[in-house]
Chain A
Amino acid sequence: MELSPQDKALIAAIEDGLPLVSHPYEAVGNMIGLSEIEVIDRLENLIAIGVVSRFGVVVNHRQVGYRANAMVVWDIPDDCVADAGRCLAELSYVSLSYQRPRRLPDWPYNLFCMIHGREQGAVESLIEDAAKIAKLADVPRAVLFSGRQFKQRGAKYSSAKVTEQSHA
């Protein structure tokens, strides 16, 4: 999709956050030469077309107590991976379920999901639950808890910031 220069300017203007003032869209408009109503219309459109996937509080998971975050990866036969991926996605504590390519021989896993929790033990039992429910108990898997966090912010590139908190 080709975004207009005004849309790109808007995306860049609010990528670090909305001004926390009474008329934030007017303030943003002043930064990029658009009226308040134009900003509102464009933003509504960006949400409608999915360029803005969410708008609001971007939580710092660790700081609010979600300190244990596990990337759980599975090696599932290709013809079963979609069913398994959808099944995991149904679980309230699974925040992401993606298929990705294997990188053999080092990396045999093709389904990735994220499970966040307050502490490691709790997350480990959720993983056991998930494996049972999705009938993946006998499927090879690995659990990669995150340790040190080096860069939490979204990537910046010339026109916009992308945040894939999915792997936080």
Chain B
Amino acid sequence: MLDVDRQIINAFQGGFPICERPFAVAAEKIGLSEEALIARLNQLLEDQMMSRFGPMYNSEKMGGAVTLAAIAVPEPLFDEVTKIVNGFGQVAHNYQRDHKLNMWFVVAAEDPSEIARVIGEIEMATGLDVFDMPKTEEFFLEMKVSV
């Protein structure tokens, strides 16, 4: 990874300026020109180092609801169940994990009743139990990484 990309990623995982020319202001902080910063950001997107440049929303503050759900999927059915689960627009971040509960995903929706409906529909479509584990207490969430 280029030093300049490292700098960009480490510096701007939050706190991006909200002003008329934010890229110019941001670029100055790390000694780049506005054009150079924009060009590097485009490249980071293209290289998939960055999945996007923009906001991270807090669904609860928007009145939305989110939960973490898991399914114990029999191995032979894994691909088929993956397809069904990912077919729901409310599903994000579906990961296989090494446990009897081997499929873990986030369900985000407008409100808790939509979450319940989606989980019910996934259970119907897959014939498998979905374990719904909404957060009851948050002690910490800070996703910055250094590269």
Interface residues of B in 50-93 (CB under 8 A from A): 50-59, 61-64, 66, 68, 70, 72, 82, 86, 89-93
Q: Nearest B residue to A70 by beta-carbon distance? A: B97
A-B pair number, CB within 8 angstroms: 281
Known interface pairs A54-B14, A116-B145; A157-B108 also in contact (CB < 8 Å): yes
Residues A155 and B107 in contact in the complex (CB < 8 Å), given A25-B20, A55-B56: yes
Of the four ranges (under 10, 10 to 19, 20 to 34, 35 or more), the interface on chain B belongs to 35 or more
* 11 A-B residue pairs with CB within 8 Å: A56-B54, A59-B51, A64-B147, A96-B142, A98-B139, A99-B136, A147-B96, A149-B95, A150-B82, A162-B66, A167-B93
Given contacts A60-B50, A98-B136, 15 further A-B contacts (CB under 8 A): A18-B55, A40-B18, A43-B18, A56-B13, A71-B97, A82-B139, A88-B139, A88-B140, A95-B142, A101-B133, A107-B101, A157-B114, A159-B110, A164-B93, A167-B68
- Residues of chain B having any CB pair with chain A under 8 Å: 1, 8-9, 12-16, 18-24, 34, 38, 41-42, 44-45, 47-59, 61-64, 66, 68, 70, 72, 82, 86, 89-101, 104-110, 114, 131-143, 145, 147
